[in-house]
Amino acid sequence: MIVSGMVRMQIGMESGVADVLRAYGKQASPADIKKVVELCYAEGLPQLTGNYIIGGAFESPASLAETTKTVLALLELAPGMLDISTTFIMPLPGTEIYQHPEKFGITLEDRECLTNLEDFPVNHTEALSLPEICMARSRLITAVSNKMKQQFKEGLIPKTRIYTDFKLAFNYGIAAGYLKFIYAKDPIMVAYYQKLIEYQGLLREWHELSEPEKNNAVIQMIPDFSLLDINHFSPVELDILAGAGRFTIAETAARLNCTPADLNIPLKSLSDRYLILFSAFI
């Protein structure tokens, strides 16, 4: 399916506890879900979204802790791919959980779900009150968000995945969690990938350059100087940016009385901060 063009897949992960999954009639176990995540990541699926039900069958502090542990472990297996969502349980009329909620360890406070707008539960469990279920969801969302931010900060998300996320957003309006809550918060990063995708094949990233190109490529600055705080740059980096769009790497090195190899570190640093791209021509 990936070869045929599939870019996003959604599965119901529901819980990190095997007994809870069985209560929902799921045939997959947490171990099965882990295998799916590993396979999708290895095969290069751009986005895999999974939903977890908070405050559902037999929910307790222990099950919440296990689910949180499971979710964070899955994120570690697939940095940049997983798009985790959470919902409260909404028992539909005619279902077993609606007819006999006590079999699932829950009590429906609003059987008609009139107060449910996806951000407010309609039940409590034997171990958790309705407000505690609300708090539990907020805590899981925070834990997931912090994990994603940590992965990005530590450089654990492959650049190819970041590029693909932006391409899907710009071309098809498909925006996953990493892009919406992390990448898109940085206007410089957005401008960088917008140019890279708009001029696909003409602009390239530092890590894509061959050794000869690290001499002959023209440095292109992406954001406007008005977006930058020059106090965060070294003198060499400022000189590189000042000549961007006019000089090759070798010409820039000659201007600074150094070799092109001497510029590898500052060029990589500027590239990693989404400030420069490279072209074959001025």
pLDDT of residue 117: 62
CATH top-level class of 8-172 = alpha beta
Those residues whose C-beta lies under 8 Å from the C-beta of residue 135, and which sit 6 or more positions away, are none
φ and ψ at 223, to 5 degrees?
-80, 165
Average pLDDT over residues 197-225: 94
**Helix and strand totals (H; E) in the chain:** 12, 7
pTM: 0.90
Q: Is the pLDDT of residue 213 over 70?
A: yes
Instruction: Please tell me the predicted confidence (pLDDT) of residue 249.
Output: 98
Average pLDDT over residues 127-140: 97
**Lowest-pLDDT choice from 17-31, 134-148, 221-235:** 221-235
pLDDT bracket for residue 2 (50, 70, 90): confident
Confidence category of residue 1, pLDDT binned at 50, 70, 90: confident
| The pair of three-digit structure tokens given for residue 194, joined into one six-digit string | 């917008």
**8 Å CB contact between 219 and 276:** yes
Reported as a single tens digit per residue, the pLDDT across 97-131 is 999 999 999 999 988 877 766 778 999 999 999 99
pLDDT band at 147 (very low <50, low <70, confident <90, very high): very high
* Contact yes or no for 80/44 (Cβ under 8 A): no
CA–CA separation, 275 and 43 (whole Å): 30
CB neighbourhood size of 111 (10 A):
12
> Region 247-260: what's the mean pLDDT?
97
d(CA 19, CA 17): 6
Residues in the chain: 282
| Domain residue ranges in the chain | 8-172, 201-279
Percent of the residues in the chain that have a pLDDT greater than 70, as a whole number: 99
Q: Reduce the DSSP state of residue 219 to 3 states and report it.
A: strand
Q: What is the pLDDT of residue 76?
A: 98
Q: Are 101 and 107 in contact (CB under 8 A)?
A: yes
In whole angstroms, give the CA distance from residue 198 to residue 6: 22
